[in-house]
Amino acid sequence: MFKVAGAIFLVVLIWGYTWVTMKIGLSYIPPFLFSAFRLLIGAIPIFLILMLLKKPLLPDKKKITNVLVMSVLMSLGYLATLTYGMQFVDSGQSSVLVYTMPIFVTLIAHFTINERLTSFKIIGICLGTVGILFILGPQFLNFNAQTVTGELLIIVAAISWACANVFSKVKFSGSDIMNMTAWQLLIGAIMLFVISFITENVSQTEWNQQAVLSLLFNGIFSTAVTFIAWFWVLTKIEASLASMTLMAVPILGLFFGWLQLNETLTINILAGAFLICIGIFFAANKNRRKDLVKDTLEYQVRHR
């Protein structure tokens, strides 16, 4: 049990610190190029593990279209949108906003796969919405266009992540998760490299020690290491129990942003973060029946 607790602690700690490293990396590398390298670096270790385990390297022909859809949702809709928005938003605040994902899953699952909105889920949606308004409110009142745009883009990223979770649950049940993840990351990296070279001035990228370390941390630790650790944890304890611990990630994101980047923690941000975390708890509450929302965070590791 100590090994399981240690693995959970490692995953939560890495993901909590990931936001700081992303913000640092974006100071030197354009957002689409940063995302492309992160996905590529994350894919390589997973392909190597597939080879060591002598598992098939090629994707299931019947699932190729679904893998492409997942790559669009997660690489473009989630990661690229998130990193672009993070240029204008503090790292800790970004982590809180993007972790509204389970709340959006609740709504999407209700309208697409007929999962009933329980009273717990409705309470979670309401609390999460109020939490978002607490965070966005000051920027709207002061009309800080760049910050508002960044925050809205991060919420769009959370919605795309939620769509990917619903799609994954429906289309990839029983699939080889490691194979699917490796190809999703690789295809996403290729798409983002193309977009980066078309839309960004990559010659202005500043390849220094901080930029390289940020990419390596995001690719190796935030993607590959946590993928392995998290799915090992899920073989040892109940998925819904393990997933609830991930609510600590945005809290750590706020803490590390304040500690290392001197980001300001206002009452609005802290209150919003608290309401969003409580909203996630209600939305993902185990309510005597198995549904998508309570175990949706189980799938997040494959989409990081």
Six-digit token pair at 110? 């209700």
Which residues have a Cβ under 8 Å from the Cβ of 60 and sit 6 or more positions away?
Answer: 175, 176, 179
Where b means 16+ CB within 10 Å and e means fewer, 114-145 reads ebebbebbebbbebbeebbebbbeebeeeeee
Average pLDDT, rounded, for the chain = 86
pTM (predicted TM-score): 0.87
Which residues have a Cβ under 8 Å from the Cβ of 262 and sit 6 or more positions away?
Answer: none
**Phi, psi at 205, each rounded to 5°:** -65, 135
- Which amino acid is it at 37? F
Q: Where are the domains of the chain?
A: 2-303
Mean pLDDT of 245-269: 89
Confidence of residue 136 (pLDDT cuts 50, 70, 90): confident
Mean pLDDT of 148-174: 87
CA distance 58 to 145: 45
298 pLDDT more than 60: no
CA distance 149 to 180: 32
Mean pLDDT of 271-282: 86
Per mean pLDDT, which range of 136-140, 156-160, 192-196 is the poorest?
136-140
